[in-house]
Structure 1
Amino acid sequence: MFTTRPELAGTHGMVASTHWLASTAGMAMLEVGGNAFDAAVTAGFVLQVVEPHLNGPGGEVPAVFQAAGESRPRVLCGQGVAPAAATIGHYHSQGLELVPGSGLLAATVPGAWDGWLILLRDYGTKHLRDVLSRALSYARGGFPIIPRIPDTIDAVTDLFKEHWPSSAELWLPGGRAPAEGSRFSNPVLADTWERLLAEAESAGSDREAQIEAARRAWSQGFVAEAIDSFARQAFRDDSGRDHAGVLTGQDIASWQATYEDALTVDFGEWSLVKCGAWTQGPVLAQQLRLLEGFADRLSYVDGVPTAETVHIATECAKLAFADREAWYGDDPSVPLDILLSRQYAANRRALITEQASFELRPGSPSGEPPRLPAFAVPYFVPAEEISGALGEPTIGNSGVVRGDTVHIDVVDAAGNMVSATPSGGWLQSSPTIPSLGFCLGTRAQMFTLEPHFASALVPGRRPRITLSPSMALRDGVPRIAFGTPGGDQQDQWQLCFWLAHLVAGLNLQEAIDAPNWHSGAFPSSFFPRYWQPGELVVESRLGPATIAELRDRGHLITDAGPWILGRMSAVSRNPSDGMLRAAANPRGMQGYAVGR
């Protein structure tokens, strides 16, 4: 099996993320006595600076984790909710049938700051300044610009110059995007963080008191005030018109990050740990449940999946994601117990044949006929307009710009384990707030504007997000934390990893390096919500014969090239000997694992 890098092994700690600066910052925290939670928060803040096209301070953070000594995994919900004025009626009154994918109308309450801070408060050991200092130094002193940042800015330069002047001021120094490899800083963001730290430290020396003061300074202080004032202005969005936002300071003050029980689904000696149906996370469990009936047909040859393996996995994905469209959302009525049951999977499995399906076929888990949103009709887009969908972030030549996300996995010697997928507030999502140095996220685009769906827009509800961190338990003990950016593809590329690692027996790095694939045969979660029936995007390293067989089975193949799909990272711990391992994605030459 060809592999690009060695799987790392050690006993002190491991950090893997989508950017080397975040991984090294997290490891530096472990080296000075911090635990996995301190390291994850440190890395998370660094990613807000060095991958600003993929996440930012105005975004969100879901995570799954288990603390050493605790008996079960938990979920951190750092995903903000829809504002009080974000009603379906308001958007319809603006002549909208979809929530725009950019601008202020798509803003939910920013969740990342409060999410990271309660995780630090409850499970970390360090002060806020300790975990924020590395990100602050990069914001103040500069960081090297990776290639995708100027690519992203180039795609929205006209928008910035004509309609978002505050973004142009920050991201177009001298009227153009910063050059690849150049040093770039965001001193206004640094000032914002310094002011938050000053508020924190004015509460005295107690660690928790400082964190609580910093939370208040954000949600009830100068940050919320600046957001409230800025969101009342109208700016151009994906609808082609100018709209003001509906987010207020009161919305921010009324919300806080929370914890909840993780979704844990058993597959023999292994269990999968995910967030609930307010994310797309359960679709990975649904895919694995469907695949249980095909276990004897899944195989790899020299680390490469066979055509039959890819075909079966793709057809299982189509069924799981069809259920996502019909049933998932932030609503207690979502019938997850039935959707994840073996009996339901057996009924659904019977729909899979030797040929590719071109239908969107949700099931009836509660006996009620499934309903689909109006946008869940085939929308064929010329290939040249969606070529950007093969990488991250997804920037199509049509000018529609959708952000992506980042990922962090950490494990320490004590057995603390964290998998986090921060996102939102990317530089192209909405105009930069001049006094804060960051912009708001656009996660509300994932709501539907049709009532009676669990994913329908309702004030106070979380959008059904694509962010999907993962853990795997073996015999009930945390063994692996893993995840990837990629929007709708996250739980498909994670399936590729799961099959390569746990079915084919490849190590973490080999499993990440193995060829990936994904289906586009269900509605996108992002504006304008298009989908491509029958589409199967593959890495060419599957091999000509395998790709030809998939075409013969009816799949509409897009060959993405040899190394482009996924940005997976993973860490693991063997409790029997305390050995820690880690690996990260080589695609894009940006993600790295570190450890000792």
Structure 2
Amino acid sequence: MFTTRPELTGTFGMVASTHWLASAAGMATLEAGGNAFDAAVAAGFTLQVVEPHLNGPGGEVPVLFARAEGTDAGRPVVLSAQGVAPAAASIEAFTDLGLPLVPGTGLLAATVPGAVGGWLTLLRDHGTMPLDAVLRFAIGYAEDGHPMVPRAAATVASVADHFRAHWPTSAATWLAGDGTPPAGGALFRNPALAATYRRLLEEARGPSREAQIDAALAAWYSGFVAEAVDAFCREPVMDDSGSEHAGFLTGQDMAAWTPRYEAPVTLDWRGWTLAKAGPWSQGPALLQALAVLDGLPASGPAGYPGGVAGADLVHASVEAVKLAMADREAWYGDAAGVPVDDLLSAGYADQRRALVGERADRELRPGSPGGRPPVLPRFVTEASSRGRPSAQTLAGVGEPTVDTRGTTRGDTCHVDVVDRWGNLVSATPSGGWLQSSPVIPSLGFALGTRAQMFWLEPGLPNSLAPGRRPRTTLTPSLALRGGVPTLAFGTPGGDQQEQWQLCFWLAHTVGGLDLQAAIDAPAWHTTSFPSSFYPREATPGEVVVESRLGDATIAELRRRGHEVTVSDAWSLGRLSAVSRDPDSGLLRAGANPRGMQGYAAGR
């Protein structure tokens, strides 16, 4: 199959991410003697600066990793740096404001910003370098400037009027003195953010590397950053409800929060073990879809005629995803009692597989794991009864679909690292988008809006509750082969993340394509379930495909009842991946060519 680039191979280290400068920062860290954790943190902070429309210090990051040495060697671990809902953020509080959904912009949707806490915790516990060694790249790009990628410039332009009219601190940060948005490729600086990073270094004092990082954590969550966040959230700002609201987030909320380590959920699949974050993410949906596909003939090698997925495989995978995402709506959330074991059991997969027919299904069909009756959010069932509104097609390279008020449907970034010792890291930082919320002027960044993913209805696994994590779309992946950590991968894309990862996984494990070829392979996804983003739309029956799937496959999908939207040939997904052969130790990497932004580096 044609590939846009070679799959990188080497023995020293590999970094792959959604931006070339982040990959370069990670690789420079490896070259300086750092390990995969040091490199991931350097890349992660760099992404906050160079992809500000996709993530920022006010956002969050889930990390999946496996250490090569130590008591937990070879065991995949999740580091959840997803912030929680503030103590004052209750369903009743939103009801009192007359809001049926959490707005997608502004201060009401802010959860505790977890990204910096996650990166610092990863560095402290598993890295080897001091904070200044990994933060220097982000400081340099914020202080001296970086070329603003065209998509970031376009995002600023799309919300420039909103900034001028309602968010003057964002206008001061992102627009020129005459009020014009930056041009793509122009050098852009964020001196306030650089000053925040520099102050973090000044406060990082202590007798050891670990103590210094602890001091930085304290400065962020109990010190000058928390104080600035608290003060800013007390003043009302415009959000996409059409009214001004103050935020719920306080410095006390920040001081009470810490990242947490967790065991992943896993699925054994044809000699592989795929690990994902738990049901507070959408990670188990990929495992559920694979479990359904495992018993379908379409998921065999014949599903890839000529190295490109055929209609049988695309149809089967789309129908499996619909079933998994229906279960996501009914069962997933940061609540006690989510029946993960039943959802991933072989018997339940058999039941769900039997629902995959020859024709496309348009209904949202959650199952009954362990005999429990499913309960969908009232908003979803009411929308279904009146004919759910059609969403704007979410085709694109996993970057934001943004309206003029900053409402964003699915965007993030990603980084994967493997080092010569065999440490593997996969991380998907997101949130705190430049368009999500006004810039806090003394800090140079905006808060996130992840709370928009909660339902304002009691009794659901994803109901809003103080101290609860919203069910996020962020979903890094780590896979073991023969019990040995082998592969790390992921993509931006909101609700499409699991689907584009499924395309990659099938191309690599079933189609036999190498990492780069599997990333390059034509992709697809469905929007036939409620979006996780405000205003929670769906397009029943829709399948979005890259035109490279071919006219015959597209025609066959339409014959089977799919509403096919044909996207540009290179338009879906921003995957990256790294791997380590457990026998030879050979390292590999690939990154997405779509959007001309993601790159892998290694030797």
Q: What letter corresponds to residue 493 of structure 1 in structure 2?
A: W
* Aligned mates of 1:270, 1:373 — CA distance in 2: 35
* Aligned mates of 1:583, 1:381 — CA distance in 2: 38
* Aligned mates of 2:234, 2:601 — CA distance in 1: 44
Give the aligned partner of residue 305 of structure 1: 309
Shift in Å at residue 394 of structure 1? 1.7
Give the aligned partner of residue 324 of structure 1: 328
Give the aligned partner of residue 341 of structure 2: 337
Give the aligned partner of residue 29 of structure 2: 29
- Secondary structure of the residue aligned to 1:134 is helix
* Aligned mates of 1:278, 1:330 — CA distance in 2: 5
Residues paired across the two proteins, number: 593
Give the aligned partner of residue 243 of structure 2: 241
**Given the alignment of the two structures, is residue 229 of structure 1 paired with residue 228 of structure 2, yes or no?**
no
Cα gap change, 1:524 to 1:419, in 2 (>3 Å)? same
Q: 1:93 aligns with which of 73, 93, 96?
A: 96
Shift in Å at residue 268 of structure 1? 3.2
Shift in Å at residue 33 of structure 1? 0.3
* Paired residues of 2:486 and 2:579 also in contact (CA < 8 A): yes
Shift in Å at residue 397 of structure 1? 7.4
* Paired residues of 2:89 and 2:465 also in contact (CA < 8 A): yes
Cα gap change, 1:217 to 1:353, in 2 (>3 Å)? same
Give the aligned partner of residue 424 of structure 2: 417
Q: What letter corresponds to residue 420 of structure 1 in structure 2?
A: A
* Paired residues of 1:375 and 1:530 also in contact (CA < 8 A): no
* Aligned mates of 1:218, 1:347 — CA distance in 2: 48
* Paired residues of 1:424 and 1:443 also in contact (CA < 8 A): yes
Shift in Å at residue 389 of structure 1? 5.9
Q: 1:458 aligns with which of 452, 461, 465?
A: 465
- Secondary structure of the residue aligned to 2:321 is helix
Give the aligned partner of residue 368 of structure 2: 364
Give the aligned partner of residue 484 of structure 2: 477
* Aligned mates of 2:307, 2:15 — CA distance in 1: 25
- Secondary structure of the residue aligned to 1:366 is helix
**Given the alignment of the two structures, is residue 7 of structure 1 paired with residue 7 of structure 2, yes or no?**
yes
Q: 2:551 aligns with which of 528, 544, 554?
A: 544
* Aligned mates of 1:397, 1:145 — CA distance in 2: 20
Give the aligned partner of residue 135 of structure 2: 132
Give the aligned partner of residue 347 of structure 1: 351
* Paired residues of 1:390 and 1:560 also in contact (CA < 8 A): no
* Paired residues of 2:13 and 2:27 also in contact (CA < 8 A): yes
Shift in Å at residue 387 of structure 1? 6.0
Q: What letter corresponds to residue 352 of structure 1 in structure 2?
A: V
**Given the alignment of the two structures, is residue 501 of structure 1 paired with residue 484 of structure 2, yes or no?**
no
Give the aligned partner of residue 564 of structure 2: 557
**Given the alignment of the two structures, is residue 435 of structure 1 paired with residue 442 of structure 2, yes or no?**
yes
**Given the alignment of the two structures, is residue 488 of structure 1 paired with residue 491 of structure 2, yes or no?**
no
* Paired residues of 2:397 and 2:595 also in contact (CA < 8 A): no
Cα gap change, 1:497 to 1:549, in 2 (>3 Å)? same
Give the aligned partner of residue 277 of structure 1: 279
Give the aligned partner of residue 173 of structure 2: 170
- Higher mean displacement: 321-330 or 398-407: 398-407
- Secondary structure of the residue aligned to 1:302 is helix
* Paired residues of 1:166 and 1:434 also in contact (CA < 8 A): yes
Question: What percent of counterpart residues are identical?
Answer: 64
Q: Deviations over 1:96-136 (max 9, x none)?
A: 01000010000000001111111001100000000000110
Q: Deviations over 1:226-270 (max 9, x none)?
A: 000000111111111111000000000000111111212211310
- Secondary structure of the residue aligned to 1:279 is coil
* Aligned mates of 1:535, 1:129 — CA distance in 2: 48
Q: Deviations over 1:162-196 (max 9, x none)?
A: 11000000001130111111000000001111111
* Aligned mates of 1:575, 1:387 — CA distance in 2: 38
Shift in Å at residue 497 of structure 1? 0.3
Matches within 5 A, 1:553-592: 553-592=560-599
* Paired residues of 1:389 and 1:395 also in contact (CA < 8 A): no
Give the aligned partner of residue 184 of structure 1: 188
* Aligned mates of 1:24, 1:362 — CA distance in 2: 43
Give the aligned partner of residue 161 of structure 1: 164
* Paired residues of 1:518 and 1:537 also in contact (CA < 8 A): yes
Q: What letter corresponds to residue 327 of structure 2 in structure 1?
A: D
Shift in Å at residue 380 of structure 1? 5.2
* Aligned mates of 2:409, 2:147 — CA distance in 1: 23
Give the aligned partner of residue 525 of structure 1: 532
Aligned-residue CA RMSD in angstroms?
Answer: 1.3
Q: Deviations over 1:504-532 (max 9, x none)?
A: 10000000000000000000000000001
Shift in Å at residue 399 of structure 1? 6.8
* Aligned mates of 1:381, 1:401 — CA distance in 2: 17
Q: What letter corresponds to residue 564 of structure 1 in structure 2?
A: S
Q: What letter corresponds to residue 217 of structure 1 in structure 2?
A: A
Give the aligned partner of residue 266 of structure 1: 268
* Aligned mates of 1:470, 1:105 — CA distance in 2: 30
* Paired residues of 2:410 and 2:493 also in contact (CA < 8 A): no
Cα gap change, 1:580 to 1:387, in 2 (>3 Å)? closer
Q: What letter corresponds to residue 209 of structure 1 in structure 2?
A: A
* Paired residues of 1:54 and 1:403 also in contact (CA < 8 A): no
| TM-score (norm. length: structure 2) | 0.97
Q: What letter corresponds to residue 140 of structure 1 in structure 2?
A: E
| TM-score (norm. length: structure 1) | 0.98
Cα gap change, 1:479 to 1:297, in 2 (>3 Å)? closer
Q: What letter corresponds to residue 458 of structure 1 in structure 2?
A: A
* Aligned mates of 1:391, 1:58 — CA distance in 2: 20
Give the aligned partner of residue 63 of structure 1: 63
Give the aligned partner of residue 255 of structure 1: 257
* Paired residues of 2:426 and 2:478 also in contact (CA < 8 A): yes
* Paired residues of 1:82 and 1:108 also in contact (CA < 8 A): yes
Q: Deviations over 1:64-106 (max 9, x none)?
A: 0001121411001111100000000000100001000010000
* Aligned mates of 2:591, 2:396 — CA distance in 1: 21
Give the aligned partner of residue 454 of structure 2: 447
Give the aligned partner of residue 148 of structure 1: 151
Give the aligned partner of residue 122 of structure 2: 119
* Paired residues of 1:107 and 1:443 also in contact (CA < 8 A): yes
* Aligned mates of 1:561, 1:419 — CA distance in 2: 28
Give the aligned partner of residue 475 of structure 2: 468
Shift in Å at residue 561 of structure 1? 1.1
- Secondary structure of the residue aligned to 1:271 is strand
Shift in Å at residue 296 of structure 1? 5.2
Cα gap change, 1:112 to 1:183, in 2 (>3 Å)? same
- Secondary structure of the residue aligned to 2:101 is coil
**Given the alignment of the two structures, is residue 209 of structure 1 paired with residue 216 of structure 2, yes or no?**
no
* Paired residues of 1:58 and 1:112 also in contact (CA < 8 A): yes
- Higher mean displacement: 487-496 or 253-262: 253-262
- Secondary structure of the residue aligned to 1:189 is helix
* Aligned mates of 2:390, 2:153 — CA distance in 1: 25
Shift in Å at residue 375 of structure 1? 2.6
- Secondary structure of the residue aligned to 1:119 is helix
* Paired residues of 1:390 and 1:565 also in contact (CA < 8 A): yes
Moved over 3 A (4+): 295-298, 378-383, 385-391, 396-403
Shift in Å at residue 400 of structure 1? 3.7
